[in-house]
Amino acid sequence: EVQLVESGGGLVQPGGSLRLSCAASGFTFSNSWMCWVRQAPGKGLEWVASITPDGGEKYYVDSVKGRFTISRDNAKTSLYLQMSSLRAEDTAVYYCADADLVWGQGTLVTVSS
Amino acid sequence: QAGLTQPPSVSKGLRQTATLTCTGNSNNVGNQGATWLQQRQGHPPKLLSYRDNNRPSGISDTFSASTSGNTASLTITGVQPEDEADYYCSAWDTSLSAWVFGGGTKLTVL
């Protein structure tokens, strides 16, 4: 079964850090462009970051540049999002996805004091 | 980053055909077509179609996508109550090097 499972979400204080993980299975992860997309409560979908299959190129939405880092480990078929200097406006459900194949169930990140 | 344009809402009667639109430009929709996602209330997005009517395994052929110029369309033939959901379009923008989304269309089945 083609599947993506996110983990690592939780409650964090403003200015804090969090690392999200996404475990892939059922497809050739090392061939896939992967991305993170978030959805704030009651809002639409917002792309956060993308990474090429070999990890050599990374792209970010302007609002997270310099604060978030996307990475992958093809040997472990896993995608990551390291988030730092978190703000209240980063509060959202974070989804990992292969845009042409499958989305995960999401993990909730809440930034609040 | 600029987004794609979708109508906020569409209403259709049971078993009617709904056509949802998504307008971008030559750098995104006009370049590789659009990806369409369905999101039911309280659920994660579900991929319906990618890059012009490529349907993932398990997606009903009642969903069909197409592109004309810089506008993508998703047609749902014979809408059912379970089709009531938010529908999002998205596309990679080659000029911005960013993935852009529409604001979503809420489909109501009357």
* pLDDT tens for each residue of B93-105: 999 999 999 999 9
What percent of chain B is predicted at pLDDT more than 70?
A: 97
Q: How far is B45 from chain A (nearest CA, A)?
A: 7
Residue of A45, A60, A100 best to disrupt the B interface, most CBs of B under 10 A? A45
Instruction: Give the mean pLDDT of A31-35.
Output: 96
pLDDT at B1 over 60: no
pLDDT at B57 over 90: no
- Which CA distances in Å does A64 have to A71, A89, B32, B54, B79? 14, 11, 26, 31, 39
* Inter-chain CB proximity A45 and B56 less than 8 Å: no
At residue B48, the pLDDT reads 95
Grade residue B2 by pLDDT with cuts at 50, 70 and 90.
low
Residue of B99, B101, B105, B106 best to disrupt the A interface, most CBs of A under 10 A? B99
Residues 6+ apart with CB under 8 A from A6: A20, A21, A22, A94, A95, A96, A104, A105, A106, A107
Helix residue ranges, H only, A1-113: none
Instruction: Give the mean pLDDT of A55-82.
Output: 97
Q: What is the mean pLDDT of chain B?
A: 94
Q: Which amino acid is at B13?
A: G
